[in-house]
Chains A and B, each alone.
Chain A
């Protein structure tokens, strides 16, 4: 199924939390400032309903997304008010992918964990949590995974300041 088909199906099954779809487009020749958008199409989803959205995607027999391939977050820029949660779903049966994006306000970076739906997201969520300071509610094992347990700050946020020292070791 191509993206349009998936989108139609999502609308048809009333997938919870679906906001809109975003598809790549060519730059508008009239508007100089518009650069268009390249890359993949994706759907935008309410973060609070992300878990139920992916569950609906998994359980629908026409979508059949058995695998969560990737879950990550993006901090688009320093001034952006939102973080993005990017989820990649994959259906082995129908050989299609779906990119999902959830806009999460930086001030309250909190959303329900996806682990009950896909256990694959367990480590991805731990990584997101330590790198972006996102809280996944209901995560079974919310420890740091790549960073030391006592790490301060969220390194992949754009406003992260590099520490001057770590345990008395100068990082200059």
Chain B
């Protein structure tokens, strides 16, 4: 009997014979190793996660990065200060304005140049509009990961208008290179601010649809609530920032807590709030909380844009800068609130035309590190939901 069983069994099964003549067969099979990516619909780019699964259950995960590594930091050491600007567009390509802004602020911290107020306000408008666009993509593609196709296109509809607005002000739709060291490249064309105001109005009307259609949908809630829970301690330990940390219930936003440009003024005016997850649909820090934070933040960004439109002043849009930009020797780290978290630029200058070191602290890169810990124990479907909820842009994780 035992022999017959052994013959037909796969080699991985183990056999234990007890002394009373019984045969116990351990039919556990080794875990299946499955390559999630680099070409997979839900990896948001070319990321690869090596997953071990036991049936539908994920027992281990190991992210592999570097498929989109374009040596951004090395390039930074080889091009002039201003010339690096187009490269900043390309790491987080969904929030290029914010990247431009972060880099410009870092270099300006060394330069000590004064930025005209009009330029500052235009910068904030652009950064916040881009935050809306980025969150729209994040929320829309998250719906796509969960299986809802239509909200994705609704989100893109509004983002399309946002991109058209940027196209009018700077001529590009994705890689803007608009916010530059010392200010912005061009003043806004006539009628642009009015169109931005119109965009805000329309967006406020459309926004409830995203909530009704996807965010509170019972299937969506069931898919995301209690999935991929990141506790407070974990969020701090892993250095998570932005929506991830707010999704874990930590009240932290660089725009309020370490204000740059005139965000401090806007906050004191009470123009915007920081949405912090409360764990309404399940455990605090689950995927639903993170997507909720994103959806709520879009509305807050609209309010900031409105404030800037109301307080717009006339004047130049670029500060006094020498023709060839030489940055005083020194080093500065400036972190700004990117849609995905804290985008830090650490620049070192030796007083020359070229930087010594341009370090980019990408929020996606840091937020992604948590995957290794929260993926095990999830189902395959959950794994997609979790990866989507970290809202990574692979261009930034790999830089």
Contact = CB atoms under 8 A, between A and B. Distances in A.
Interface string A138-159: 0000001111100000011010
Interface string B112-149: 10000000000000000000000000000000000000
B329 A35 contact: yes
Interface string B342-380: 101010111100001101010001101100000000000
A40 B350 contact: no
B66 to A, nearest CB: 4
Given A70-B361, A146-B65, A147-B66, A92 B252 contact: yes
A75 B349 CA distance: 12
B339 to A, nearest CB: 17
Contacts of A36: 328-330
Interface stretch (A6-14, A105-113, A116-124, A163-171): A116-124
Contacts of A122: 369
Instruction: Identify whether the interface residues of B are mostly helix, strand, loop, or mixed.
Output: mixed
B250 interface: yes
Interface in B233-247: 236-239, 241
A75 B350 CA distance: 12
B74 A40 contact: no
Contact of A72 (B112, B236, B350, B359): B359
A74 B357 contact: yes
A67 to B, nearest CB: 5
A97 B241 CA distance: 14
B281 interface: no
A65 B189 CA distance: 45
A69 B342 contact: yes
Interface string A97-137: 10100000000000000000011111110000001000000
Interface in B25-76: 65-66, 69, 71, 73-74
A145 B250 contact: no
Contacts of A67: 236, 239, 241
A5 interface: no
Given A68-B239, A118-B237, A77 B331 contact: no
A76 B240 CA distance: 29
A119 B366 CA distance: 10
A155 B111 CA distance: 28
Contact of A37 (B69, B109, B329): B329
Contacts of A42: 331
A146 B48 CA distance: 12
B230 to A, nearest CB: 12
A92 B65 CA distance: 29
Contacts of A95: 257-258
B366 A40 contact: no
A38 B237 contact: no
A119 to B, nearest CB: 5
B330 A38 contact: yes
Given A38-B329, A74-B356, A146 B236 contact: no
B65 A145 contact: yes
Contact of B361 (A69, A131, A145): A69
A88 interface: yes
A74 B359 contact: yes
Interface string B384-399: 0000000000000011
B82 interface: no
Given A69-B335, A70-B344, A120 B238 contact: yes
A72 B346 contact: yes
B346 A38 contact: no
Given A86-B359, A92-B250, A146-B69, A119 B333 contact: no
Contacts of B356: 74, 76-77
Given A42-B331, A74-B348, A147-B66, 17 more contacts: A35-B329, A37-B330, A38-B330, A39-B332, A69-B344, A70-B344, A72-B346, A74-B331, A74-B359, A86-B333, A92-B236, A97-B333, A97-B335, A119-B238, A120-B369, A144-B66, A156-B73
11 contacts: A35-B351, A36-B330, A38-B349, A40-B331, A68-B239, A69-B335, A70-B344, A72-B361, A77-B350, A119-B239, A156-B73
